[in-house]
Amino acid sequence: MTTLHRSSLLAPHATLAPSAWVERWSHLLTPSARVLDVACGSGRHMKWLQQQGINALGVDRDEQALADLKTLGFEVLVADLEQDAWPFEPQSMDAVLVTHYLWRALWPDLKAVLKPKGMVIFETFSMGHEALGRPKNPDFLLRSGELLTAFGDFHIIAFEEGLEFEPQRLLQRLVAQKPEPGAPREASPLRSLE
């Protein structure tokens, strides 16, 4: 995993390196993929994907961060996904990327926006992390195995849950593929954080 110093976690996302989870699984995305980066912030993952030849659409409520991305040529949409109506058409994305963001009410929309065989790459904090740092609000912390439950109707490619030591964080991570209609659900191996 990419090592980040604890102090960088307190800084704006602009100073953070891309998530090692995103780096690890971005090879599943093709250059022609339509990728939605949810709560993209300053676009650290959009920039990473662009370096891999993949363009992403970023959505966030932070108008200034998106203005900066727009001047760099990125496709962005200002929207408060917790207050506004979901702005995307069903089955319009090949992949959805979510990191360090949790709004459970969006899960049906995240699933619906994916085309069949579309990918979701998800990483955020779990219960217990409040003892280590922010977020502390349980509304923004996943319960044990919650991503598996939320995306249980998808083909699970990878799942990790547990303590990362440098920096200390309790995380859940998931990569899953939306099944084609009528396709049988395949069994997937599960593993813990390394």
Q: What is the pLDDT of residue 1?
A: 31
Count of domains for the chain: 1
Q: Is residue 62 part of a domain?
A: yes
User: Model pTM?
Assistant: 0.84
Q: Is residue 187 part of a domain?
A: no
Q: What is the pLDDT of residue 128?
A: 62
Q: What is the pLDDT of residue 133?
A: 67
Angstrom distance (rounded) from CA 181 to CA 148? 20
From 96, 79, 88, select the one nearest 34 (Cα to Cα): 96
From 39, 185, 53, select the one nearest 123 (Cα to Cα): 39
Q: Which CATH number belongs to the domain containing residue 171 in this structure?
A: 3.40.50.150
Distances (CA, A) of 118 to 8, 115, 155: 32, 5, 10
Q: What is the pLDDT of residue 192?
A: 44
Q: Is residue 1 part of a domain?
A: no
Q: Is residue 168 part of a domain?
A: yes
Q: Is residue 186 part of a domain?
A: no
Q: Is residue 184 part of a domain?
A: no
Q: What is the pLDDT of residue 166?
A: 75
Q: What is the pLDDT of residue 131?
A: 57
Domain span holding position 156: 6-177
Q: Is residue 194 part of a domain?
A: no
Q: Is residue 67 part of a domain?
A: yes
Per-residue pLDDT of the chain (194 residues; tens, 9 = 90+): 333 332 333 334 455 789 999 999 999 999 999 999 999 999 999 999 999 999 899 999 999 999 999 999 999 999 999 999 999 999 999 999 999 998 999 999 999 999 999 999 999 977 666 556 676 667 777 788 899 999 999 999 999 988 777 776 778 999 999 999 877 665 554 444 44
Q: What is the pLDDT of residue 78?
A: 96
